[in-house]
Each structure stands twice: as structure tokens, then as C-alpha cells.
Amino acid sequence: MKANPSPLPMASLPNSHRWVMSSKGSSRDYQISVAFPSEEPPPQGFPIIYLLDGNSVFGTMVESVRLQSRIPARTGIGPAMVVGIGYETDAPFHLNRHYDYTLPVAASELPPSFDGKGWPDQGGADLFLSFIEEELKPYIEQQYPVNKERQILFGHSLGGLFTLHTLFTKPESFQTYIAGSPSIAWNERLLLEEEKGFYPKFDLIKQEKHLFLSAGELERSHESKVNEKAEELAKRLSNHIDVVYEEFANENHISVLPVLISRAIRFSLKI
């Protein structure tokens, strides 16, 4: 029997919208998914989570936020909007993420690809960040009641790398940053340069920043050493921003996602 044996209506999340948005700066297309609370918005608007890899984790994030914020007096979590940034595919991931989430890197510095065919194009992180800041955010803020003082960026793996890149180069873009299992080893030299340039930027901003770094315990066996690198980064940043590093027991690079989402909500949406 087929998974979809009859032409029944497709399911969708309540209180959600989806559309395709073309970037004027890069001519790339993005599938934008937005979920909004059923509650009346507060005067300042709702906190908002901008979620990378929206194809894979949008539903998980939305339902997790809604469950945890259902009774704020008990959970300590308030309602929030979720904006998933993905691609026109039913698959959980799209090759375009390799370009959008990464820093420029020479082919000789890349690790071996999984399929032996080489990596997709790299190095479009700045263009992608410009799309978020100059095109996506203004449109979202026109359509929905957004609290601009409580904006959260969530990324995992290469998305975690992009999250750190954003914090280091445009720290004023968000107040809270969630970087799960960040691919720090992907052109680590350039990321370290960006980190060094972050400290004088941060001193000028005069705005508190929050960073949640994490990895799964089972990732310790991977050659990228993401656990050690993320923990060391948290220690270096601790004198400048509010930063937490957590390692999740018995979780690998993929299984860690639901745990990361739950913990990120409690870190970023406290009332």
C-alpha cells in the first residue's frame, strides 16, 4: 500500500503560511514558512525565531514552541513566531545550503565529500545574510507583529557555522544565537579571524548578546572535534557575552536536533 493511497487533502500546521521568496541580491529562491501564535500579540510584538534548514525542522520547532508556551505561568516560556528558511523541496535538506551557510574556502582545504563527487559551491554566507537582513526581515515585520528586541537565529551543523558567522560579523542582527553542532572546522582559520574582529564590534554595540552552543556526546568520535571546539569557543566568549555550552548525552549529529530545539526554546523564550 502506498503512503498516500487516495487524493485526500494534505495536512498543514494551524496558524501558518508558506511562500517562495526570490532574493533580489542573489537571484536565489527560498521557501519561507511562518507560524504565528493564536494569542493576541503583546504591545511590543512576539519574539521571533529565524530557523535555518526550515525543510527539516520547521514543524518540530513550531510544535515544540507551542507546547512549551501553552501555559507560560507553569513553563516559564512565552509564545513566539517561527520563520523557517528553506528551499523548494520535500527533502529535509537541499544542496544550496552548502553555499548559503558557508564562508569562502579553497577546494584544497575542504574535507573529502561523502559521495566522492566533490562539494557543491561554497562561500555565499554574506549574500545569504544580506537576504535575511535586507529582504526577509523587512517583509516579515510588515506582515506580522514582531518584537525586534527579541530576535533569535537558530542553526545546526553548517547552519550553526552560519549562526556564528552572523554573530561575529553582524552581531546587531539578533539578540540570541543558537549554534548546534556548528561546523567550526569548515574554514576554521577564517572563522577565528572573524571571532577576533567581533570583540571590538561588540564593545561598540552596547547590547547584551546570548549564545547557546551545543553538540551531541556521540559526536566526540568525529574527526572535526566539534565538541572540543565549541566548548573552547564558549570559554573564550564567556568574558564578553552570555554563553552556554551543553553536550547532550547519547546523541549523535542528527538525533541531537529535537533535544537541541527543546533546550534552545528554554534558553531563548523565557518570560
Helices marked H in the chain:
54-68, 72-75, 96-100, 125-131, 137-143, 158-169, 188-205, 226-237, 256-268
Check residue 240 and report its DSSP letter. Answer: T
Amino acid at the residue 271: I
CB 84 within 8 A of CB 117: no
Question: Is 253 designated active site?
Answer: yes
Q: How far apart are CA 34 and CA 251, in angstroms?
A: 28
Q: Cα-atom radius of gyration of the chain, to the nearest Å?
A: 18
The residue annotated as part of the active site, out of 157, 181, 214, 224, is 157
Question: Could you say which DSSP state residue 24 is in?
Answer: T
Q: b/e per residue, 137-160, with b = 16+ CB within 10 A?
A: beebeeebbbbeebbbbbbbbbbb
Which residue out of 219, 224, 251, 268 is catalytically annotated?
219
CA–CA separation, 229 vs 74, rounded Å?
36
Query: What span, in angstroms and rounded, lies between the C-alpha atoms of 177 and 161?
Result: 11
CA 133 to CA 252: how far, in whole Å? 32
Q: Do the beta carbons of residue 86 and residue 55 sit within 8 Å?
A: yes
Catalytic residues, by residue number, are: 157, 219, 253
